[in-house]
Amino acid sequence: MQKNKTLGIKKIFFLLLFFSCHNKKHVPLTYKIKKMKSSVLKQIPKNDTLLEGIKYERVQGRLKGNFFVVKQFSPAKINSCKECHKGQNLKFNHQAPRSHWQIKLDHASIEIMDCKTCHIRKRVWNLKNIKGKKLSINQAYNICTQCHSGQGNDWKHGAHGKRVGGWASTRVIKSCTGCHNPHSPKFEKRWPAIGPNIQL
């Protein structure tokens, strides 16, 4: 009796399995998960009010993707550079006196890197890559990541750099030079800050 009951349950299970799989088109589980994830993401409110007042543009060049970078320099700031540098024949060697005398290049040795490695002569508000292509000063990430490609890939994928506007808003991150001084990018040693709720 027990054997017949077990055999009957197995037949019913087999018939259900056979007809449930073959009556309708098979949909892979990964597709169902992606569809569910997509519907869940649509329900997350975009809180772009946290980005009000922040100027940003889509990332361009080698690292382009579906995210944005903060524009550090406005046209007004760039034009203020042009006011001083307009028509000047700037000398870009380390022996000549500089108009920005306070800038100390502590990035690489002078044999490897000087001002003209990144800046265009007569147009210091523009940058150039290794191939000589002119880039906006707001696209410094394209210059930095030529040598620092590991950090660039981490930055692109969210493991390096500072995100602004919160996690649920449009992905806007700071450029390399938003955190690092491009002329001296290494951070000085410092003590960690004490959190707001910690009492000593």
What is the rounded CA–CA span in Å between residue 125 and residue 9? 78
The answer to whether residue 194 scores a pLDDT higher than 80 is: no
The answer to whether residue 154 scores a pLDDT higher than 90 is: yes
Q: What is the pLDDT of residue 150?
A: 93
Q: Per DSSP, what are the bridge partners of residue 181? A: 184
The answer to whether residue 149 scores a pLDDT higher than 70 is: yes
What is the rounded CA–CA span in Å between residue 81 and residue 75? 10
pLDDT digits (tens, 9 = 90+) for 91-135: 555 554 556 667 788 888 888 888 888 988 777 778 999 999 999
With 0-12 / 13-18 / 19 or more C-beta atoms within 10 angstroms meaning exposed / middle / buried, residue 165 is buried
Between residues 199 and 155, which one has the greater pLDDT? 155
pLDDT mean across residues, the chain = 77
What is the rounded CA–CA span in Å between residue 128 and residue 106? 19
Q: What are phi and psi of 164, to 5 degrees?
A: -115, 150
Q: Per DSSP, what are the bridge partners of residue 126? A: 136
Which of 145, 130, 134 has the alpha carbon at shortest distance from 177?
A: 145
Q: Per DSSP, what are the bridge partners of residue 125? A: none
